[in-house]
Amino acid sequence: MTRRYFGTDGIRGRVGKAPITADFVLKLGWATGKVFSETARGRKLILVGKDTRVSGYMFESALQAGLIAAGVDVGLLGPMPTPAIAYLTRTFRAQAGIVISASHNPFDDNGIKFFGSDGFKLDDALESRIEEFLDQPMETGLSEQLGRAHRVEDAAGRYIEFCKSTVPGGFTLNGLKLVVDCANGATYHVAPDVFTELGATVIPLSIEPNGLNINRDCGSTHTRALIQAVTHHQADLGIAFDGDGDRVILANHAGELVDGDEILYIIARHRLAREQNCPGVVGTLMSNHGLQLAFERLAIPFERANVGDRYVIEAMRRNGWSLGGESSGHIVCSDLTSTGDGIVAALQVLQAMVDTGKPVADLSSSMTKLPQVMINVKIAGKSRLDNNGPIQAAVANAEKALAGQGRVLLRPSGTEPVIRVMVEGPEHALVSRLATEVAEVVEKVLC
């Protein structure tokens, strides 16, 4: 289904450039309010939360005005992690939740993404319906038909208690030292408290957002500070979130990074040992082949979905499985919550550490990743990769060099103006050379 504004994770772009402008977001709020008013019975309530970008103030006000004009009440959550907004949407029985965030992108990007009343991302039909209203003239209701806005009290406290509830009663992190990097983003005021209240000694990093420093040299996409802090403080584990808290990357006690593939493996293996059952796991096209091989040894079914948490969740729901995720650290435990949640995923790994008495390095040691190199090629706009002779020839040459022992994958990012070139194979030098060669052709042809 063709959509003009919605991508794989809502609507995202550079602030001040269409569609990420105040006037568009005003109308987007109105259109969203009109769509959810069509099926609402009784009270019409939509929750709005945001990360710590300075532009969030502007877009929060614009969304609020549009929703109120459509006759919808607005619950303002303030800065909150994306998974917290999904959770609170369910618990408040709201028609929808709206997140103002560009996730792991730099501060001068922003975006809008949506959750339905069940805490899951909207389906294509609802997104297309919103786009239909965006093409209609915006009409403000009579004064007695307008919605109202209120600030939700103790939203952070509610979410902290939820996160703690995802581990067994009596579970404690006493004796563990954790470095927690909040990326100067939406987890800055909740994540350290979750781990502290469970008994850990917490060394917090990047918890002073100023609107401009979200994801800047910190968090899950820039892990140097995390690694240095883990080794300096001799911590048991480092935990790094992205700007909106739906992704997590870890660093073991030796300062070695543990990505989403390894986190999935640790959680799945622990569930298999604890419950004697793990029905299956969903990864993506980008998941390392070593993860698939490790699951084969454990007799755990594994399926690849398209990149994007919505596609992972679709495959999980289709199969009736409760675990899935992406290499980037977007981990979904659907028996605990409805979307990717960095804090919940970290707690699942910590539970495996506590239950087994083993460090993360040991828990992930039986999974061996194949060398994988990914290069992002920046492009000016949307570009088609299919039926492109030079690019197809470059891919074919790379696949021939891998001789059936690896993969080549090209895909446009759903969140950034880049083409991702991924090559995976038996030797790092070969993989790196082939990825560079393919990326150079992509850049020459499309840039």
What are the strands of the beta sheet with 248-251, ordered from one edge?
201-205, 177-181, 237-241, 248-251, 257-258
348's tokens: 């699942």
Both tokens of residue 50? 């945001």
Helix axes 342-356, 82-91, angle to 10 degrees: 100
Contact call for residues 91 and 115 (beta carbons, < 8 A): no
Question: CA 156, CA 84: separation in Å to the nearest integer?
Answer: 8
Residue 418 one-letter amino acid: V
Residue 394 is encoded by which pair of tokens?
A: 């470059």
Q: Has 364 been annotated as catalytic?
A: no
Q: Which residue is associated with the tokens 């109105």?
A: 30
The secondary structure element, H or E, covering residue 192 is helix 191-197
Cα–Cα dist 279/366, whole Å:
20
Q: How far apart are CA 190 and CA 80, in angstroms?
A: 8
- Please tell me which residue in 55, 101, 103, 220 is annotated as part of the active site: 103
List, as one string, the DSSP characters of 125-168: HHHHHHHHHHTSPP-PPPGGG---EEEPTTHHHHHHHHHHHTS-
Amino acid sitting at position 196: T
Q: Which letter does DSSP use for residue 358 in this model?
A: -
Instruction: Find out whether 272 and 379 touch, Cβ atoms under 8 Å.
Output: no
- Bridge partner list, 115: 97, 121
DSSP 8-40: TTBEEEETTSTTSSHHHHHHHHHHHHHHHHTT-
Which tokens sit at 382?
């949307």
Tokens of 72: 């919808």
CA distance 209 to 56: 13
Other CB atoms within 10 A of residue 29 CB: 29
Active site residues: 103
